[in-house]
Amino acid sequence: MAAPKFVGEVEWPVTIQLGKGLEGAITCHSRIGYVDGEKGWLVYRGYNIFDLAEHSTYEETAYLLLFGKLPTQKELDDFKGKLLGYRKIPQEVIDTLKSLPKDCHPMAALRTGISVLGCKDTKADEVTVENDTEIAIKLISQMATVAAAIARIRKGQEPVEPDPSLDHTANFLYMALGEKPNDLMIKVMDISMILHADHGMNASTFTCMVVNSSLSDLYSSVCAGVGSLKGPLHGGANERALAEMLPLKDEEEAVEYVRDAIAKKKKIMGFGHRVYKAYDPRAKVLGKYSQEVTERMGMPHLFKIARKVEEEVIAAYGERGIFPNVDFYSGTIYYALGIEVPLFTPIFAVSRVAGWVARVLEYLPENRIFRPRAVYVGDMEKEYVPIDQR
């Protein structure tokens, strides 16, 4: 069988070797982003993630993902103006969020909030590239407001109105935390948002594409993406990774934690990846900022413990290609910035929505409904037995 080809055009139908969990499968051609799992590279629209993390902003990166080019100043100003114009969410969304049980997971609340946004949009079902592009921009803007409102409401506080003087990420932090973030917080969160914005055909992106391929509305597709991202094998790992590290008092306990997990054959959260068999480049950047932020916020022990966990996991599993992924260090950063653990995955979603909508929009003009098959291994010729005879 031919090896799967992930760069350059393929001729449909393509012959590939498939693994469980659709490993090796190809969904479509894309110009949006590329993950090289052997080299540990991540590229958005041709630009290396290290360059984008260093020089770009989340708004510029979202524009790049959506429209395929770096914006001119005027294009960026217009895009930011649109995001700003959409920030405020309908009162019905806030009322619905307030009606949810206080202990419901913020990702479930986010999914619900997006659903209400869709119900309120009279043009939600007009599935055209033009209309969905507008909804895409709306979602990038409003998911931040919904997630921030959830952060407040679950603590019994009133949502904070958006501040038009702040950029997207700074305004998100302001609305979520209820106070103006400092420069370090804004910078590090913006970098994290850039790093999380897109990542090939991951489970949540694929979920959005599958839903949209039936020509359903973009809100439904993004709701489904949030549901997929919530799981601990995907975006939910950032919460779990930190929750498992917080009780560790020192590096000795970090070693014990890893050795115990290995002995019990437990998956260690924040490690391993379907595509990366080298170090996840996003974890490289986040690891660096984790050290800086935890030190600046007076929590250097948290980084030391995380580093020790990493060293131990790599010593045991590095040869098998298991390294930290994006979800390992992000939590240490958010925690040091004073963000509550249940909000970690919603933050991932607030960023990833750019990749979700970009990929859905790219596929729309050449849409073909996704419809794989399962291998049936059940019975074939059973005789129907009436209920009173069973």
Residue ranges in contact with ligand SDX by CB under 6 A: 21, 199-200, 202, 233-235, 237, 267-274, 322, 325-327
**Given 132, 198, 273, 280, the catalytic residue:** 273
d(Cα 106, Cα 288) in Å, to the nearest integer? 28
CB 185 → ligand SDX: shortest distance, Å?
22
* Smallest distance from ligand SDX to CB 243, Å: 13
Nearest to ligand SDX of 27, 96 (CB atom)? 27
Total residues found in the chain within this entry: 390
Instruction: Say if residues 170 and 186 touch (Cβ distance below 8 Å).
Output: yes
User: What is the SS3 assignment for 117-169?
Assistant: HHHHCCCCCCCCHHHHHHHHHHHHHHHHHHHHHHHHHCCCCCCCCCCCCCCHH
Q: Is the CB of 48 or the CB of 165 nearer to ligand SDX?
A: 48
Distance CA 236, CA 308 (A): 22
273 is catalytic: yes
C-beta closer to ligand SDX: residue 121 or 190: 190
Q: Which residue is nearest to ligand SDX (CB)?
A: 272
Helices then strands, counting H and E runs in the chain, come out as: 16, 3
CB of 61 to ligand SDX, least distance (A): 14
199 has catalytic annotation: no
Helix (H) or strand (E) run with residue 40 in it: none
CB of 148 to ligand SDX, least distance (A): 22
Residues 6+ apart with CB under 8 A from 354: 58, 61, 62, 65, 66, 140, 197, 198
How, if at all, do strands 33-36 and 47-48 pair?
A: unpaired
Are 62 and 196 in contact, with CB atoms under 8 Å apart?
no
Between CA 231 and CA 9 the distance in angstroms is: 32
Q: Which is nearer to ligand SDX, 89 or 191 (CB)?
A: 191
Taking the complex as a whole, how short is the minimal distance between the CB of residue 33 and ligand SDX, in angstroms? 10
C-alpha dihedral over 92, 356, 345, 121, to 10 degrees? 0
* Catalytic residue list contains 78: no
Which lies closer to ligand SDX via its Cβ, residue 153 or residue 229?
Answer: 229
List active site positions.
234, 273, 327
